[in-house]
Amino acid sequence: MPHRSLHMPRLVIGAPQGRSGKTTVTMGLLAALAGARGLCVQPFKKGPDFIDPGWLTRVTGRACRNLDSFLMTREIIRQSFVRHMDGAALGVVEGAMGLYDGVDLAGSGSTAEIAKAIQAPVVLVVDTTRMTRSVAAMVMGFMHFDPEIRLAGVILNKVARPRHENMLRAAIEQYCGLPVLGAVPKGARLTIPDRHLGLIPAGEREELGRAVEEIGRTAPEYLDLDGLLRVAGEAPPLAADRAAAQTAENFDGSRSAAGIRPVIGVFKDRAFSFYYPDNLEALAAAGAELKYIDAINDPVLPEVDALYIGGGFPEVFARELAANRGLRAALRTRVEEGLPVYAECGGLIYLGRRVTWREEVFEMCGALPFDVVMSDRPQGHGYEVVEVAEPNIVFQPGEVVKGHEFHHSRLANLDREKVRFAFRVVRGWGIDGRCDGLIYKNVLATYNHIHALAVPRWAPRLVGAAREHRWPGL
């Protein structure tokens, strides 16, 4: 099948540094286009974040997709982008950190690498606090630092007053020749509540939806929507080939492996909300039926052949989780019986004996022999690379697994005689700086969050473990 070139209007929202206002500007743009303009907009997030994508999903009504050049190849990024743009009039990628900030001197894993992978124009959000003419020097540096990046416009953030805005606009237009596509004043109503891991998840409290509505109403006052759409429309045609079509087919949840579909339970509620849509789709595509479980309100564990417990904020809802004694006891029993369980970060915390949060102690599942202590400071933050040291339900010794960790918890009173460590940490912190991934019977509990596009063997193997648990000997 020959290459096809598709016209896909698209933008990357970048910034000189983190905390410049990318998320609020992106949410405002999406809310305005999806609301007032009635456009179908597909959101994307650079990097392995869970919380920002939840908000972008809520704003647009389309599942936000993560694009990450540390975890994924450029071809996989392009395929994922093409596939998820189906039916959308516009694609918007929210960047992370500074535009050229990556994991090394070459900028690997940066927002710029995503822009190059999908050949998208970049709009730079600049925090203009205590800055006037110098804004032009900053923008010029970003224009010329990498000739493969097309910087197409600037959005001014935290503008002090009309005179300040006029000076900034004149400097950028005269010295840089770029359009100013928006100016957001200080104190503008474009904010979302946050906590220790960033923004509060979009689905956690219904009243947070009012913040989204306010952003959608306010954003058109400050953003040049027509100008932003014009820039997005100037993106060059993007090549799509057979590989992209095959990727879409492989992750079509309607397809399944031959035979009866094993049931994988997924803890999905206010406490456990950190799931990449691609991971859930990959499990379905590998043949699983997904059954969602509310760890706060469901009194019993349904009949499942395996469990997937993702990350989230179990410490914030520790009192509610502890109160659900029936579910905790049932899970503890099923673990002893050999139920395959794959748990990431928050799921690991829940499987322990108890968690200490703000000087209070709450009982957790008790399936694994450790306690958890929450800290005000991150205990592990960033990309994690591990080498598999011990066989487990998903990975084999010698394999290298890339992922991401971001946790404020540490394990205490770990009984090392009852568990094995699955991983040797090559990059990151994991459990103790050397090891990650606890193995107990058919449980694998780790701080490492993986993405199915980066670890394609994960889903088929977890589904295989579920099928084997249900039908011994197959």
pLDDT tens readout for residues 69-117: 999 999 999 999 999 999 999 999 999 999 999 999 999 999 999 999 9
The predicted model gives 31-35 an average pLDDT of 90
Report the C-alpha gap between 47 and 383 in whole angstroms.
10
Structure tokens at 473: 């000997």
pLDDT tens readout for residues 285-308: 999 999 999 999 999 999 999 999
- 226 and 279 housed in the same domain: no
User: 301 lies in which domain range?
Assistant: 259-470
Alpha helices in 290-353 (DSSP H): 318-323, 325-336, 346-351
Specify if 148 maps to a domain. Answer: yes
Q: Which of 64, 345, 365, 435 is catalytic?
A: 345
Using left for φ > 0, alpha for ψ between -120 and 50, and beta otherwise, residue 307 falls in beta
More confident residue, 290 or 192: 290
Q: Are 428 and 383 contacting, i.e. CB atoms less than 8 angstroms apart? A: yes
Report the C-alpha gap between 171 and 182 in whole angstroms.
15
Report the C-alpha gap between 46 and 111 in whole angstroms.
6
Name the band, by pLDDT with cuts 50, 70 and 90, for residue 201. low
Is 345 an active-site residue?
A: yes
Specify if 251 maps to a domain. Answer: no
- 216 and 301 housed in the same domain: no
Residue 248 pLDDT > 80: no
Q: Which residues contact 240 (CB under 8 A, 6 or more apart)?
A: 3, 4, 5, 6, 82
Using left for φ > 0, alpha for ψ between -120 and 50, and beta otherwise, residue 413 falls in left
pLDDT of res. 470: 80
- 226 and 358 housed in the same domain: no
The predicted model gives 376-401 an average pLDDT of 96
- 270 and 235 housed in the same domain: no
The residue whose two tokens read 């939806």 is 209
Specify if 417 maps to a domain. Answer: yes
Per DSSP (E only), the strands in 95-142 are 122-127
Q: Which of 7, 1, 474 is nearest to 232 (CA)?
A: 7
Residue 63 pLDDT > 50: yes
- 239 and 380 housed in the same domain: no
Q: What is the mean pLDDT of the chain?
A: 91
Structure tokens at 36: 């007032």
The predicted model gives 28-35 an average pLDDT of 92
Structure tokens at 145: 């630092």
Report the C-alpha gap between 123 and 147 in whole angstroms.
15
Name the band, by pLDDT with cuts 50, 70 and 90, for residue 192. low
If DSSP codes are grouped into helix, strand and coil, which group holds residue 252?
coil
Residue 315 pLDDT > 70: yes
- 124 and 238 housed in the same domain: yes
- 237 and 264 housed in the same domain: no
Report the C-alpha gap between 75 and 64 in whole angstroms.
19
Beta bridge pairs of residue 388? 423
Report the C-alpha gap between 388 and 365 in whole angstroms.
26
Q: For residue 474, with 0-12 CB atoms within 10 Å meaning exposed, 13-18 middle and 19 or more buried, which class applies?
A: exposed
Report the C-alpha gap between 212 and 218 in whole angstroms.
10
Name the band, by pLDDT with cuts 50, 70 and 90, for residue 195. very low
Q: Which residues contact 470 (CB under 8 A, 6 or more apart)?
A: 260, 262, 305
Alpha helices in 313-450 (DSSP H): 318-323, 325-336, 346-351
Specify if 248 maps to a domain. Answer: no
Alpha carbons within 13 angstroms on the beta-carbon side of residue 74 total 12
Specify if 351 maps to a domain. Answer: yes
- 436 and 369 housed in the same domain: yes
Name the band, by pLDDT with cuts 50, 70 and 90, for residue 453. very high
CA 217 to chain centroid? 26
Domain with residue 89: its CATH number is: 3.40.50.300
Query: For 18-32, 81-95, 164-178, which range has the lowest pLDDT when averaged over its residues?
Result: 18-32
Bridge-based pairing of strands 360-363 and 354-357 is antiparallel
Domain with residue 354: its CATH number is: 3.40.50.880
Tell me the CA end-to-end span of the chain in Å, nearest whole number: 38
28, amino acid identity: G
The predicted model gives 25-38 an average pLDDT of 91
- 106 and 194 housed in the same domain: yes
Specify if 409 maps to a domain. Answer: yes
22-35 helix and 209-222 helix, angle to the nearest 10 degrees: 90
- 203 and 344 housed in the same domain: no
Name the band, by pLDDT with cuts 50, 70 and 90, for residue 187. confident
Specify the number of domains making up the chain: 2
The predicted model gives 250-264 an average pLDDT of 62
The predicted model gives 428-449 an average pLDDT of 98
pLDDT of res. 244: 45
Percent of the chain whose predicted confidence (pLDDT) is above 90: 82
